[in-house]
Chains A and B, each alone.
Chain A
Amino acid sequence: MAKIELNNVVKTFGTQHAVKNLDMTIEDGELLVLLGPSGCGKSTTMNMIAGLTDVTSGHILFDGHDVTTLPPHARNIAMVFQSSLLYPHLSARRNIYMSLKRSGLSRSDIEARIAKAAETVNVAHLLDKMPNQLSGGERQRVATAKAIVREPDCFLLDEPLSALDAALRLTLRAELVNLQKRIETTMVFVTHDQVEAMTMGDRIGVMRDGGLEQIGTPTEIYNRPETLFVAGFVGTPPMNFLKGAVIDEAGKRLFVRGALRLPLTGESAGTPPADQVILAVRPHRMTLTEPGEQALPLKVYAIEHLGNETIVVCDSDDHDRIRIVVGSEFAASVGSTLYAGLDTSHALMFDPATERPIRAGKREVA
């Protein structure tokens, strides 16, 4: 078990900055998910924690010890790679054994550890099979056994579920979380799938262009996104963004966009007047209403029926894509016009220039 600290870690490939000045602490025993689109530097970050990629500058600390220059095997970590990589020509048992071959343990200790690890992830009956005889889920479990057999301080998982089908992914997601809680080991999980991140992580670190956008619990990330990018990346269907302005009218704040005039309520009521703001609102917080001053005219683009609910995908007057979650019985033809109202008490205001939230009432006095 280990607490992992990244201090001002930088990685450059030639002139390209893969990871920029990353500061991050992964608490002992926590499951941290690194989330981001491909190319955001999350895998590079994991490789640096593992010691597979050299750090250009900065330090990596395990429990306060600087491991920046240590080779991978000296860090006592275990890793599960994308599509559950195993040595293809070795049996499951030999694959697991390879993790301990250089451990200096006696043959009988190794046998016992393999048996225990196989028991933990329920692959004892598969040990004599070759990787190509295993199903995707079985391979994943064997790869996990190969990782836990080392009894590492930290598990690093690099998109291990991305190559599996949806149903299996769901099962294995729960298995991994359950396992991590049982053995109480620090785990870093890299994924580009925000649903995976939300469901698995104790905390989520959202990365973009080599930098950390926000780190926090799934609830914080979902309800209090600190950048426009996080707001748009996390949550299905994604958040809606409406460009507009905030004006002051008789002491009340209004969000104005074309003919739309929405009084701001709740937290957003304190938003200082501004010429350009982006109002972000979850599709669940929008409703279909009658035409009027407080309703946004929308053109239906597509309708996605999910069974329990329906997502209406619309184009707004300035061609932003807006999604609204409505009841499952909803029907409309593509191209028809709808009017949507929204609950401003659950809306977030972003400054389009900084892409950061506009804090209610802060700059107003000055």
Chain B
Amino acid sequence: MARLASPDTETAAKTPATRRRGELSNLQFALVVTVPVLVFLVLVIAYPLGYALNLSFHDIRFFGGYSATWVGLENYADVLSDERFWNGFLLTVRFTVETVLLTLGIGMALALVVRDLPPRWRWLRALIILPWAVSPYGAGIFFAYLGRGQTGVGTALANALGFDTSINFITQDLVVEFLALGAAWNMAPLVAFFLLANMLTTPPRLYDLAKLDRMSRFETFLYVTLPPLRFTLFVFTCIITVLSIKTFDYIFTATQGGPGSASSVLTYVLYRTSFQNLDLGYGAAMSFYLLALILISTGIIFFTWGRREARR
């Protein structure tokens, strides 16, 4: 009975939808909404990417007239033995790891502070988003002045405490850490906002339960506050990893890759190669290593962490 009935009801349900004149079928509707986007994506992503791939197999010369000579994988091989590349690669990894940890840490701390604000001070929650509103370009200039010995906070603090020394953060040893702190300052408010939104969904009674179970502050954080935040933390780890690896404008305005090449991260090396030395083919090959770095690192994060979170 049920078998006989079901095809009947199905056609009955479909008939008015498909037969109504002037209405699009599901396929037609899908094409109408997706084709413009697909065309747009091909124009702005696939074409430039393909062009860059093509460039990377050529040796491009501008001097003595434009010439493009097919060199196969030679550019890719050369990159691997390029000391500047490996220096930039290690700096990028260092900058990225530090930025991710600092951003998540500061974001979490900010979220915890603004969550527990008394009602009269809740408006401060809106204010903490402000650093995020600063463009990376502006943040670069800002942190360049903050870090320098002549104008920076280090010197100002030392003077305020009565020491007659100048403290410079933009040095060979410290510049990457200082830049990572600046990047974290820029991005942490957004992380804090999302974490705060998540925290507010935890039933307040769970904290009472923790009190009855005599949990310490750390245990309460570990067992009550943290678990619902894990997925957000995972997502932001991915986002910040990608953003840090591809950071360019911030470092360009803050240090120009210096002092020396102490902050010449991969994107900066790429910029020098492609747009200052005009070695476009070689630069394109290097950019594909950057792309690989992004894909591999996010892949690792996903397979070691994301899949576990998704399963919960």
Of B207-215, B253-261, B279-287, which stretch is located at the interface? B207-215
Contacts A87-B224, A88-B227 given; does A102 touch B209 at CB 8 Å: no
The distance from the CB of B199 to the nearest CB of chain A, in whole angstroms, is: 14
Asked whether A121 is an interface residue with its Cβ less than 8 Å from the other chain, the reply is no
In angstroms, Cα B224 to Cα A89, docked, is 9
Q: Contact check: which of B205, B213, B228 meets A101 at CB < 8 Å?
A: B213
A88 to B209, alpha carbons, bound, how many Å?
12
Q: Do A73 and B213 touch across chains, with their CB atoms under 8 A apart?
A: yes
**CB < 8 Å: which of A71, A87, A88 contacts B211?**
A71
Contact B212 A72 (CB under 8 A): yes
* Set of chain A residues within 8 Å of B203, measured between Cβ atoms: 85
Kindly state whether residue A98 has any CB partner on chain B within 8 Å. yes
The answer on a CB contact under 8 Å between B213 and A89 is no
Kindly report which residue of chain A lies nearest to residue B227, judged by CB atoms.
A89
Contact between A78 and B212, CB atoms less than 8 A apart: yes
CB distance from A188 to the nearest CB of B (A): 14
Question: 8 Å CB contacts to A: which residues of B200-248?
Answer: 203, 205-206, 208-209, 211-215, 223-224, 227-228
> How many Å from the CB of B263 to the closest CB on chain A?
40
Q: Say whether A120 faces chain B, with CB atoms less than 8 Å apart.
A: no
A79 x B209 contact (CB < 8 A): yes
CB nearest to A143 among chain B residues: B209
**Distance from A151 Cβ to chain B, minimum over Cβ atoms (Å):** 14
Q: Are the CB atoms of B213 and A99 closer together than 8 Å?
A: yes
Query: Cα distance A82–B224 when bound, in Å?
Result: 17
Name A94's closest neighbour in chain B (CB-CB).
B223
Docked complex Cα distance between A124 and B208 (Å): 26
User: Given A85-B203, A98-B213, A99-B213, are A79 and B227 neighbors across the interface (CB < 8 Å)?
Assistant: no
Query: What's the Cα separation between A77 and B206 when bound, in Å?
Result: 16
The answer to whether A73 and B224 have CB atoms under 8 Å apart is: no
Give Cα A90 to B228, complex, Å.
12
Task: Take A87-B224, A88-B227, A90-B223 as given contacts and tell me if A102 and B205 are in contact as well, using a CB distance cutoff of 8 Å.
Answer: no
Q: A88 — which chain B residues lie within 8 A by C-beta?
A: 227-228
Residues of B170-213 whose CB lies within 8 A of A: 203, 205-206, 208-209, 211-213
Which B residues are CB-close (under 8 A) to A98?
A: 213, 215, 223
Given contacts A52-B211, A71-B211, A102-B214, contact A82 B223 (CB under 8 A): no
List chain B residues, Cβ under 8 A from A73.
Answer: 211-214
Do B214 and A85 touch (CB < 8 A)? no
Residues of chain A contacted by B224 (CB below 8 angstroms): 87
B213, A81: Cβ atoms closer than 8 Å: no
Residue A300 is within 8 A (CB to CB) of chain B in the complex: no
Residues of B close to A47: CB separation below 8 A: 208
A231 at the interface (CB under 8 A from B): no
**Highest count of chain A CB atoms <10 Å: which of B205, B227, B228:** B205
Residue of A nearest to B208 (CB): A52
Decide if A79 touches B208 in the complex (CB within 8 Å).
Answer: yes
Q: Does A198 contact B (CB under 8 A)?
A: no
Nearest A-chain residue to B211, judged by Cβ: A72
Chain A 128-160 interface residues, beta-carbon cutoff 8 Å to B: none
A87 and B209 contact, Cβ closer than 8 Å, known pairs A73-B214, A102-B214: yes
Indicate if the CB atoms of B214 and A81 lie closer than 8 Å: no
**In the complex, A101→B223 CA distance in Å?**
13
- Confirm or deny: A230 has a beta carbon within 8 angstroms of a beta carbon on chain B: no
Bitwise interface map of A from 238 to 260 toward B, beta carbon under 8 Å scored 1, else 0: 00000000000000000000000
A326 adjacent to chain B (CB < 8 Å)? no
Asked if A207 CB lies within 8 Å of chain B CBs, one says no
Task: Give the complex CA separation of A78 and B206 in angstroms.
Answer: 14
The answer for the CA separation of A99 and B210 in the assembled complex, in Å, is 9
A83-100 to B contact mask, C-beta < 8 Å, 1/0:
001011110000000110
Residues of the A chain whose Cβ atoms lie less than 8 Å from the Cβ of B215: 98, 101-102
Q: Which of A90-130 contact B (CB under 8 A)?
A: 90, 98-99, 101-102
Evaluate whether A85 and B223 lie within 8 angstroms (CB atoms) in the complex, with A71-B211, A73-B211 already known: no
Is there an interface contact between B212 and A87, defined as CB atoms closer than 8 Å?
no
Verify A79–B223 contact, CB threshold 8 A. no
Q: Which residues of A contact B228 (CB under 8 A)?
A: 88
Residues of A within 8 A of B227 (CB): 87-89
* Cβ of A50 under 8 Å from chain B: yes
Q: Given A90-B223, A98-B223, are A85 and B209 also a contact pair (CB < 8 Å)? A: yes
Closest approach, in angstroms, between the C-beta of B203 and any C-beta of chain A? 6
CB of A185, distance to nearest CB on chain B (Å): 16
Rounded to whole angstroms, the CA-CA distance of A102 and B209 in the bound complex is 14
> Which among B209, B214, B215, B227 has the greatest number of chain A C-beta atoms within 10 A?
B209
**Cβ-closest chain A residue relative to B213:** A98
How far is it, in angstroms, between the C-alpha of A72 and the C-alpha of B208 when the chains are bound? 9
Could you say which of A47, A72, A90 has the most chain B C-beta atoms within 10 Å of its C-beta? A72
Q: Chain B residues near A81 (CB, 8 Å)?
A: 205, 208-209
Q: Considering the chains assembled together, what is the distance between the CA atoms of A99 and B223 in angstroms?
A: 13
**Complex Cα distance A73/B211, Å?**
7
- Across the interface, which residues of A come within 8 angstroms of B205, CB to CB? 81-82, 85
* Complexed CA–CA distance, A72 and B312 (Å): 32
Complex: A50 Cα to B203 Cα, angstroms:
18
Residues in chain A near residue B214, CB distance under 8 A: 72-73, 101-102
Least Cβ distance of A230 to chain B in Å?
Answer: 29
Q: Which residue of B lies closest to A147 (CB)?
A: B212
Contacts of A79 in B (CB 8 A): 208-209, 212
CB pair A77–B223 under 8 Å, yes or no, is no
Query: Interface on B for A, CB 8 Å cutoff?
Result: 203, 205-206, 208-209, 211-215, 223-224, 227-228, 312
Instruction: Name the 6 nearest CB pairs between A and B, nearest first.
Output: A73-B214, A89-B227, A102-B214, A98-B213, A81-B205, A52-B208
- A residues at B contact (CB < 8 Å): 47, 50, 52, 71-73, 77-79, 81-82, 85, 87-90, 98-99, 101-102
21 contacts between A and B (CB under 8 A): A50-B208, A71-B211, A72-B208, A72-B211, A72-B212, A77-B212, A79-B208, A79-B212, A81-B205, A81-B208, A85-B203, A87-B223, A87-B224, A88-B228, A89-B223, A90-B223, A98-B213, A98-B215, A101-B214, A101-B215, A102-B213
